[in-house]
A and B are shown apart, each in its own frame.
Chain A
Amino acid sequence: MVWKVAKGILIALALVFFLLPIYWIVATSFKQWPDIFAIPPKFVFRGTLVHYLTLFNIRPEEAAKFGQVGKSLFPPRFLNSIVIAGVSTVLSVALGTFSAYAFSRFRVRGENDLLFFILSTRMLPPIVVGIPFFVVYRALGLIDTHIGLILLYMTFNLSFAVWLMKGFIDEIPREFEEAAMVDGYTRFEAFFKVILPQALSGIAATAVFCLIAAWNEFFFALILTSEKARTAPPSIAAIQGTSGINWGQIAAGVTVFLLPVVVFTFLVRKYLARGLTFGVIKR
């Protein structure tokens, strides 16, 4: 009984610790300008949607009050984020699944070295390759393009996707696709009809990780894009007015920015529960 209460208190403390920043951001996004800076902070306040309305240029005339010059750039950049993170996630998961299948099922020469090489791309901090990437991208004309960031995020996530998916596919007995191949299907058909349905939970888990990584990425988005392909993270950070940082709009931007990942994670949570317990798929 004592233990139960203690456990409850611990969980509550952890929840407060993790959710307080999120509460803070969400609350701030609905606060009127003076309440944002109130000390002590106000937990009861009269809400307003003004930050959202100005963020999406629905009431642009309000924006001037906060010192904003011109239109908010958030909507097109939010769209960029969705396109770039979405496409790069789909690509990394697809390529990762195919290569993981190959590594899992075929005798690949130098398999362990190759897998280690793939993993090693994650070993250096991104900032180290920032300048080389900038130079290469400039030479290739990939600066400030959607395809440039998509390729970059895909590359970074691919190693992760390959390793994760290999674990999942190793768990699926070979006999499944062998049975399908004997039953009159090609290996390709067997993969789609038999292996893929079995690998769904792994794919969901991998997709969530790739999506979050690509969605949150800040550094490369900052140095490799400027206008056309700029994603939401660097542009939220840059929301400023002539009279200082526009905290209300930043909070609104962050709140909106959180939503897609939350929604996606909820959609695939059925698979995630199974997928996150790596290697214990029941045979």
Chain B
Amino acid sequence: MERVRLEGLSKRFGAFEAVQDVTLSVFEGEFVVFLGPSGCGKTTTLRMIAGLEKPTKGDIFIAGKRVTQLPPARRNIAFVFQNYALYPHMTAFENIAFPLEAQGVPREEVQRRVREVAKILGLEHLLALRPAQLSSGDMQKVALGRAMVRRPQVFLMDEPLSGLDAKLREEMRAELKRLHIEIGATTIYVTHDQIEAMSMADRIVVMNEGRIQQVGSPKEVYLHPENLFVAHFIGSPGMNFIPLLFLGEGRGFRLENGESIRCEAMEKLAMQRGVRECILGIRPEFLSIAASGEIRGSVVSVEPLGYKNLYAVEIAPGRIIRVEDMRRERFSGNVSLAVRWEAACLFDRQTGQSIR
């Protein structure tokens, strides 16, 4: 069932188009992650769903009800802020109980529900402390508790883990995922960290310059990016781009170094779409150093990462691509690269869109 729907949502700050024409449905129990570089409009979109920003255009529906004009208090949502926004003058207990007081929940029930949430989060022994006395991980948990206690229609989270150190972030990621499975709450989560997105999301919404670039499962956005932006943004390092000139079916593509390569499936695609200038997108792990590969180049540098080596290989003057190789031995000098074509993507160089 549809829980949140955005229809043609736009937001303009002065002359700056922060969010443009965002249309999206989020379904019950789904964990949707908005992913994009800073300034891409993901947080603004989230704040519009919460009612903290008024959209310039478009509509927001929560549980089938149009809420575009409603104040945040009447949308039955919970928001977890980047800096937690715990009230410094209240104890952890009072912080968690705060949303219930707004609803006029009787005192015994407040007690019961706060303790219930504290138990799920493992906060029971900290309830009497004030935020300043808590560690950042525990502050994060109190903020989550404050969100959970009112059983909202949807959880909105704005980079909730970015204030934690790497180790704690890993733990909280697992914790968040566990919570999501345990309480099954619909969640919209904003981050610029693709590892968070990939590891937690049911669906990822990739945004750039105020527009949705792609919506899909982590696997989809990783393996089948719809355009060059998504291809490059997702993955670390991002997808390699190799410019190709389509010569015609049966004749293959010409590389920048003048050599040509063949791949029947790709040729067919380029033929069907009538595209001449293409870009081959291939992730580093789908390239390997081989005795007789399709692409020749020379190794510029090697980054040993323990379980694998990450090579930078120059395949044409100034064109450096990244190659992952799992073998122990280190290659240097001239090498040739084998392409796993089934994992390669083809893009139209003019539009930047994927050709499928």
Contacts and interface: CB of A to CB of B under 8 A. Distances in A.
Interface string A165-196: 00000000101101111111111010000100
B71 A179 contact: no
B103 A184 contact: yes
A200 to B, nearest CB: 9
Interface string A188-224: 0100001001100000000000000000000000000
Contacts of A173: 83, 85
Contacts of B85: 173, 175-176, 178-179
B75 to A, nearest CB: 8
Interface string B79-118: 1011101011100000000110011000000000000000
A179 B79 CA distance: 7
Interface residues of B, number: 23
A178, A179, A186, A194 interface centre (most CB from chain B within 10 Å): A179
Main secondary structure of the interface of A (DSSP, over half): helix
A156 to B, nearest CB: 32
B83 A181 contact: no
B98 A183 contact: yes
Contacts of A175: 81-83, 85
B22 interface: no
B150 interface: yes
B79, B82, B87, B103 interface centre (most CB from chain A within 10 Å): B87
A107 to B, nearest CB: 9
Given A197-B89, A198-B88, A184 B102 contact: yes
Contacts of A185: 73, 102
Contact of B89 (A182, A186, A198): A198
B79 A178 contact: yes
A197 B95 CA distance: 14
Nearest to A187: B71
A87 to B, nearest CB: 28
Contacts of A194: 87
B62 interface: no
Contacts of A183: 73, 78, 98-99, 102, 146, 150
A78 B82 CA distance: 53
Interface of B: 50-52, 71-73, 75, 77-79, 81-83, 85, 87-89, 98-99, 102-103, 146, 150
Given A175-B81, A182-B51, A183-B102, 5 more contacts: A175-B83, A179-B87, A181-B73, A182-B73, A197-B87
Interface of A: 173, 175-176, 178-187, 189, 194, 197-198
6 contacts: A178-B52, A181-B72, A183-B150, A184-B103, A186-B71, A194-B87
The 5 closest A-B CB pairs, nearest first, are A184-B102, A175-B85, A183-B99, A179-B85, A182-B79
